[in-house]
């Protein structure tokens, strides 16, 4: 059984590695559509995960494909993507300051029989009131620029977090326990 992770995320690779399974990583080449308010953030995350999985499944029909995408949403109507520059990173982090936001990861699993299963996990993250000097220190590193919402809970920006409600791994980029449960109990994939 060959498993392919359709993701370039080093955090997803690290999380899935905990299952002690052999898998290959192939970076999906997709053009991510911009979020529009006609769909829910949950549907958007799931759509992106499905696009990633399907882009790899076309050439790898006899493998299990895992596609995933993580987004950050504020008030269920603002999707905060990866910042393009320091100004965007600063503005995003200050927007999250003192508020609770939602981290949603959509996951699509395409099994050997070409059956597809898509789900999403949601985790609530409450930020403290942020100090400008701490935000400036953080955005002067390379860390925020490959992360939705401009932060990574596993790095320096962990000092911004007051509390989380839900799956920590989901905030990192992959809801491992739910994925494991679905594979074993719903899809009958022995991982």
The active-site residue, picked from 20, 43, 69, 142, is 69
Residues with Cβ within 8 Å of 167's Cβ and at least 6 positions away in sequence, in order, are: 121, 123, 175, 176, 177, 178
User: Distance (Å, rounded) from C-alpha 16 to C-alpha 14?
Assistant: 6
Tokens of 25: 């990583």
User: Distance (Å, rounded) from C-alpha 135 to C-alpha 158?
Assistant: 12
User: Distance (Å, rounded) from C-alpha 32 to C-alpha 79?
Assistant: 13
Tokens of 132: 């400008």
* Residue 69 known to be catalytic: yes
Residues tagged active-site: 69
């Amino acid at each position: 059984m060959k498993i392919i992770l359709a993701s370039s995320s080093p955090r997803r690779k690290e999380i899935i590695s905990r299952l002690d399974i052999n898998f290959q990583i192939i970076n999906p080449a997709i053009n991510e559509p911009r979020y529009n308010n006609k769909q829910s953030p949950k549907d958007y995350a799931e759509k992106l995960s499905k696009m990633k999985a399907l882009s790899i499944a076309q050439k790898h029909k006899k493998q299990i494909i895992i596609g995933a995408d993580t987004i950050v949403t504020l008030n269920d109507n603002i999707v905060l993507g990866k910042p393009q520059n320091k100004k965007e990173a600063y503005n995003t982090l200050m927007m999250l300051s003192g508020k609770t936001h939602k981290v949603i990861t959509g996951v699509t699993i395409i099994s050997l029989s070409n059956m597809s299963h898509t789900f999403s996990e949601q985790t609530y993250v409450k930020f403290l009131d942020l100090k400008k000097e701490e935000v400036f220190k953080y955005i002067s590193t390379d860390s925020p620029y490959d992360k939705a919402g401009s932060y990574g809970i596993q790095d320096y920006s962990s000092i911004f977090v007051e509390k989380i409600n839900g799956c920590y791994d989901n905030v990192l980029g992959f809801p491992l326990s739910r994925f494991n449960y679905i594979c074993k109990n719903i899809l009958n994939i022995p991982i």
